[in-house]
Amino acid sequence: MKSSPVEGLLVLADGARFEGEMVGAAPHGGVATGELVFNTVMSGYQEVVTDPSYAGQVVCFTYPHIGNYGTSAADDESRRAWCRGIVVRDFVGDARTWRSDGDLGGFLRAHGIGGITGVDTRRLTRHIRSHGSMGCAFGTAAEDVLAAAAAAEPGTEGVDLVSGVTTPEGYTAGTGPIRIVAYDFGIKSAMVASLASIATVDVVPASTAAADVLARDPDGVFLSNGPGDPAAVPWAVDAVADLLGRVPVFGICLGHQVLALALGARTYKLTFGHHGGNHPVQRGETGRVEITSQNHNYAVRARDGVVAEGVEVTHVNLNDGVVEGIRSVRARAFSVQYHPEAAPGPHDARYLFGTFRSLLGVND
């Protein structure tokens, strides 16, 4: 027998309020907080929830039906769920399909993640687009308690979230003839799998020094995705700066921002970020437009198309002109802001792993 729905409330830092019903795990003390963002994917909710890049955030799904095909261990993108909660219009908590081994309601409860359903997510998304990502609180506590918690939520700016999501110890994947050292800033399983298809991959903790990386004699270094503000991890920037010119480097998402900082660029926080699987990006070299998967609140700053001396902008977001890819003219290094491995999302940009392989001097 299904239990009766429990009423809940979502309150934003600016005082906006949204009524709904609680789903998943009950928040401790009746309150869950985080930085509220919206994601436009139509599927892949499990991959989103288990993506370490969402650490510290509450995710509002713009697609109305979430949970309608259950969950599967094969779709996990990391060892646990990292977001602090989800907001949905219509939560289907008990659905399964032929490939699922559980339902989303049970999945959220098992991972201690709560959510709120029945929310007018169209109105909420428009509010975020107008006012920007901001702190929020949801749960069963009184409205004044939730409002105070939302106002006190620090968000992600200036906060080192990488240290909390990185692997505590290194591990190896793949058996290819070339060796890649991958920095785990919050690396996704699909990213490791893409690299392991072309190389032996040593995944190392985010705090690994450049000297320790070079001691492994890698053919190349990979900088992964991850959560939060790149300016909050200067030790990662310093390590990458020490590697530039000594070994080829490829970065994705947070790795793209870290590489840019190491090359002398600057980063900034977007108003509401890019979170979804349908962002059009133009590749400057060919003019080709790629539909991409994205998840970031920070971006690399460009002034009159210039990021930093000796750095070429290779890809640009057609929605808002944000820098989506760079290449160092002097060092063998390049990066993209979006996710070529997708999971979830389109596969238009998977060629970039082949580009990295070619940079390492390996051709099929």
Look at residue 362 and tell me whether its pLDDT is greater than 90.
no
Position with higher pLDDT, 139 vs 2: 139
pLDDT (average), residues 73-90: 96
What residue type is assigned to position 334 of the chain?
F
7-152 CATH choice from 3.50.30.20, 3.20.130.10, 2.60.120.10, 1.10.3300.10: 3.50.30.20
Residue 136 designated active-site: no
Residue 47 designated active-site: no
Q: Give me the pLDDT at residue 364, please.
A: 55
- Give the tens place of pLDDT for each residue, 288-331: 999 999 999 999 999 888 899 999 999 999 999 999 999 999 99
Sign of CA dihedral 339, 344, 349, 353: positive
- Give the tens place of pLDDT for each residue, 255-291: 999 999 999 999 999 999 999 999 999 999 999 999 9
How far from 87 is each of 39, 182, 183, 318, CA to CA, in Å? 10, 33, 31, 28
pLDDT, mean over the chain: 95
Percent of the chain with pLDDT over 90: 91
Strands (E), the chain: 7-12, 17-24, 32-39, 57-61, 65-66, 85-87, 90-91, 114-117, 134-139, 171-173, 179-184, 200-205, 220-223, 249-252, 267-283, 289-300, 311-317, 323-328, 333-336
Look at residue 72 and tell me whether its pLDDT is greater than 90.
yes
What b/e readout covers 36-45, taking b as 16+ CB neighbours within 10 angstroms? bbbbbbeebb
CB of 116 closer than 8 Å to CB of 20: yes
170 pLDDT tier (thresholds 50, 70, 90):
very high
Q: Give me the pLDDT at residue 361, please.
A: 79
Determine the straight-line distance between the first and last CA of the chain, rounded to whole angstroms.
58
Query: Could you tell me the pTM of the whole model?
Result: 0.95
138 pLDDT tier (thresholds 50, 70, 90):
very high
**Residue 154: exposure state from Cβ atoms within 10 A (0-12, 13-18, ≥19):** exposed
The DSSP-derived string for 255-268 is HHHHHHHHTT--EE
* CATH code of domain 162-359: 3.40.50.880
Locate the domains of the chain by residue range: 7-152, 162-359
4 pLDDT tier (thresholds 50, 70, 90):
confident
- Give the tens place of pLDDT for each residue, 5-61: 899 999 999 999 999 999 999 999 999 999 999 999 999 999 999 999 999 999 999
Q: Which of 83, 253, 256, 324 is catalytic?
A: 253
Q: Give me the pLDDT at residue 145, please.
A: 97
Q: Give me the pLDDT at residue 1, please.
A: 47
- Give the tens place of pLDDT for each residue, 222-263: 999 999 999 999 999 999 999 999 999 999 999 999 999 999
Q: Give me the pLDDT at residue 176, please.
A: 87
Q: Which of 35, 153, 290, 341 is catalytic?
A: 341
- Give the tens place of pLDDT for each residue, 95-119: 889 999 999 999 999 999 999 999 9
Residue 60 designated active-site: no
2 pLDDT tier (thresholds 50, 70, 90):
low
Written as six digits, the tokens of 78 are 């990391």
